[in-house]
Structure 1
Amino acid sequence: MTTIDPAVFDRLPLGRDPAAVRRRIEAMEALLEGMFTVPGLNRRVGLDFILGLVPVVGDVAAAALGSWLVWEARNLGMSRWQLTRMMGRVGFDAAIGLIPFVGDAADFFYRSNTRNLKTIKRHLDRHHPGTVTIDS
């Protein structure tokens, strides 16, 4: 029987503190929008695009994952206006995704999760400056 090293759990961002939330939302955005690069196009795509290829069910699943970012933003205490804008982006992405072929192209070019991540990062930078990370 194998045992799990407890140090593994120290690296997981499971806390409610703003720094853990920042790491979690950055990881989710990377999963949804930038898992791999499309050869020849040098365009990063992720789970949002892949799920969007599955009619209806995939778009609903992608919208649910995008809504999780909005839920995390709500837990950070972001304003209703910001949450409404973020949910509007997720809703627009989901609605346009329901249109065959057009929705797939929209998922390739319109990145609602990346835009929502930028909104959350601006909030964190302003209200929780200790969580700021420097990208190299």
Structure 2
Amino acid sequence: MPLSSEQFDRLANGFPGLGRDPASVRRRIEAMEALLEKLFVVPGIRRPIGLDAILGLVPVVGDIATTALGAWILWEARNLGMSKLQLTRMAGNVGVDAVLGAVPLVGDLFDFAFRSNSRNLKIIRRHLDRHHPETATIEGSFSRRARF
């Protein structure tokens, strides 16, 4: 039995981060970008890598999977109402990553250096900060000194 749009919205409101509101979309995209680009840090060089670089080592299937996950971020951005120019830039990032990432060995090094999902997240954050400022989050640590 398919759900109507209203039924889905009521159901989604019960689960944090599942809704269609900009704050939920932002959390989902940030989580996906962290999974694809910053899953863990490589010891010795202190460079974060994620599923994009790891799955890129698997010929064909890995590149298709990471391109699909990058396209999902693009789909979420489209649902936010981003401009065609922004979506085109983001699609270009995913496309460059897909085409050059498919080249054996060179593509694996390229995946390690060119972080298309991080670039796309930056574009989405700029859009959300401008059009939905209530979704903004403070990054990094925050410390406050007491004044006496």
Pick aligned residue for 2:34 from 23, 30, 34: 30
Higher-RCO chain (CA-CA 8 Å, sequence separation at least 6): 1
Deviation at 1:12, TM superposition (A): 3.5
Whole-angstrom CA distance in 1 between matches of 2:19 and 2:42:
34
Q: Larger helix proportion, structure 1 or 2?
A: 1
Aligned length: 128
Structure 1: give runs of 5+ residues left out of the alignment.
1-8
Which residue pairs with 1:68 in the alignment? 72
Which residue identity lines up with residue 93 of structure 1 in the other structure?
Answer: D
Q: How many angstroms apart in 2 are the aligned matches of 1:44 and 1:14?
A: 27
Cα distance between partner residues in 2 of 1:99 and 1:21: 32
> Which of 41, 48, 55 is residue 51 of structure 1 equivalent to?
55
**What is the aligned partner in structure 2 of residue 4 from structure 1?**
none
CA distance in 2, matches of 1:42, 1:109: 13
Q: Which runs of 4+ in 1 moved over 4 A?
A: none
**CA distance in structure 1 between the partners assigned to 2:100 and 2:16 by the alignment:** 34
The TM-score, its normalising length taken from structure 2, stands at 0.84
Q: In structure 2, how many angstroms separate the alpha carbons of the residues matched to 1:46 and 1:10?
A: 30
Matched, 1:109 2:113: yes
Distance 1:122 1:98 in 2: 29
- Cα distance, 1:11 vs. partner? 5.8
Bigger Rg, which one: 2
User: Partner residue of 2:16?
Assistant: 12
TM-score (norm 1): 0.91
Deviations 1:67-104 (A, max 9, x none): 10000000000001110110110010010011110000
Q: Distance in 2 between matches of 1:122 and 1:81?
A: 14
Whole-Å separation in 2 of the counterparts to 1:134 and 1:106: 30
Q: State the identity %.
A: 69
Alignment RMSD (CA, Å): 1.1
SS at match of 1:65: helix
Cα offset, 1:133, TM superposition: 0.6
